[in-house]
A = this chain, B = another copy of it.
């Protein structure tokens, strides 16, 4: 079954807002195993909306339209859909009552005249009650096709979709689709694909898709089947093979688990506390760790030591090291990591020092970053040469540092 999304709103064409509805709906449709080939955005314009909707009805089974259901003259979605599908609009008594009720509890005392327009629905349409606004959602079926109209504000759209549209679509979808996520750190996207070329080339069911993230690659393996068991048994050998090929480079196979969550999970598992000693990343590694609810169990304090003086004062980096090798050096990174463990009385410390730019530091180039991890009397250190602007260099540093922390723990416990 093929679904198409049409977002309606001139504010999207002007770039006033980011279209988060489309991502939300696309993800949910993928989860249902529905195929999506087109996402289209048009403005509040009768002719272009009409054309987009006609095209979508021809090539797709279900068309989900978002936005343009408001009370103003600009709002045309319902009118245009009814016209294209050859249906007239009639007043829906139930919806009229809901609008009355809604305004009773509203800060606006009077119901503006144009709000009654929202009580008109195409004949035969199913009305989806909207608890967070006046515009109802609508499902219109005709000739085996369905148009689903949803209000644009995400806080109205999401509950309407989740509670009323998702179950409707699930009923219409005969196939079972299951997928498995595999998240990898330590390879670029093309390297990952090269390592999987034989599997990707031969794929039809399950399929393997790669997604490049900052210093990470995510893989999604997806199977279509007639039953839950069949889907699982299609996935299992492929997932196992990929995990074998990448070993410890795989940091999680859980859909919702981020790198920092995986790190915090390992720290908790081995009952370790961690501290951070950051120079060029300036607190972002600590910030990532604190993303994880319950991080306080393993992370109690961190140091942002941007100046040499701060590195000496808080982390006991020696004056001689800073003078001889400079702040951006393997030696300084090591001393920061060791000093962090003692300063915070923690089990592990991850330390980063580097040149994020835009200016280089004497003969040391922009993008040169050293990171060190100290635990169990042993320090591991890595040297990177990152590309990109200041922001990108720092982002990559954060990911690689979290990954070094993860690998150091694994090395000690496996």
Contact = CB atoms under 8 A, between A and B. Distances in A.
A159 to B, nearest CB: 7
Interface in A280-305: 280-287, 289-291, 293, 295-296, 299-305
Given A37-B48, A276-B304, A310-B300, A25 B29 contact: no
Interface in A1-59: 7, 10-20, 22-30, 36-43, 45, 48, 52
A48 B41 contact: no
Give the dominant DSSP class at A's interface: mixed
B40 A39 contact: yes
Contacts of A114: 190, 193-194
A37 B28 contact: no
Nearest to A10: B209
A385 interface: yes
B40 A102 contact: no
A319 interface: no
Classify chain A: how many residues form its interface, as a range.
Answer: 35 or more
B286 A282 contact: yes
A385 B108 CA distance: 10
Contacts of A357: 293
A389 B295 contact: no
Contacts of A387: 102, 105-106, 132
Contacts of A290: 280-284, 304, 306, 356, 394
Interface in A296-341: 296, 299-307, 309-310, 313-314
A257 interface: no
A359 interface: yes
Contact of A391 (B72, B155, B210): B155
A270 interface: no
A174 interface: no
A300 B296 contact: no
Given A388-B132, A390-B291, A392-B132, A26 B38 contact: no
Given A18-B18, A306-B300, A293 B390 contact: yes
Interface in A361-414: 367, 384-392, 394
Given A48-B37, A188-B108, A314 B286 contact: no
A308 to B, nearest CB: 9
A218 B17 CA distance: 12
Given A283-B302, A301-B309, 7 more contacts: A13-B26, A16-B209, A38-B48, A132-B388, A282-B287, A301-B305, A301-B313
Q: Please name the 6 residue pairs, one residue from A and one from B, whose CB atoms are nearest each other, closest first.
A: A282-B290, A15-B27, A283-B283, A15-B26, A283-B286, A302-B304
30 contacts: A11-B209, A12-B26, A13-B26, A13-B39, A15-B25, A15-B28, A15-B30, A16-B209, A16-B211, A38-B40, A40-B40, A73-B200, A106-B385, A107-B386, A108-B191, A155-B389, A159-B389, A282-B291, A283-B284, A283-B286, A283-B287, A283-B304, A290-B304, A291-B391, A293-B359, A295-B306, A300-B307, A300-B310, A301-B306, A310-B344
